[in-house]
Structure formats: C-alpha cells, structure tokens
Amino acid sequence: MHNMKINGLMKKARWEHIACCCGKDVIDSFPIKECLHCKFDQCWQSVPQNDFKINEFDDKGNKTGVRIVKEISLQRGQRYQDVIGWFF
C-alpha cells in the first residue's frame, strides 16, 4: 500500500502546543484528570496514513466491487485544530 494524500494537514496544530499533563510513568498511567494532548493525539492516530480498500454496494445491498481510497480530507475543530473526523 502507498501513503495516502491527506487534505487539511498542518505543520503544527494548536493542540500540539499543549503539554501532556498525565505523564508517562507507571505511577501516572491512570490519570486523575483528562489530558487534552493525549486525547487529541489519540484522535490523530485514528487517521489512516495508507491507502485502504472498501467494498461498494448497489441499492439492493449486493456487492458491486472494491474501491481503493487514496485520498481523504480532515475535519478539524476550531479552537484546538484537533481532528474530529475524516472523509473521502
């Protein structure tokens, strides 16, 4: 598979400037408060980086073929520019 084209990329989004507040130690592995940096990073990790295949169906639900998705667009939040979704 090839690297896919991702529309809406940024050099550095606002959320990336937020420091992680949950730490990476074993003691801190269960944070008491929500860490925005880790939350937004997890959203970014859900964005596919490589081409992928999807099945196509007709109106009756019969499989008509397979399509390779090579390009997606990101949907971002306004305040932190975090990834809130992606579509093709």
Give the pLDDT confidence of 48-73 residue by residue, as tens digits. Answer: 999 999 999 999 999 999 999 999 99
Phi, then psi, of 62 in degrees rounded to 5: -85, 135
Q: Between vectors from CA 49 to CA 66 and to CA 40, what angle results, nearest 5°? A: 125
Whole-angstrom distance, CA of residue 65 vs CA of residue 22 = 45
pLDDT at 23: 62
**Where are the domains positioned within the chain?**
5-87
Question: Is pLDDT of 84 > 50?
Answer: yes
Structure tokens at 82: 């975090």
CB 2, CB 70: distance < 8 Å: yes
Question: Could you give the CA distance from residue 21 to residue 39 in angstroms, rounded to a whole number?
Answer: 11
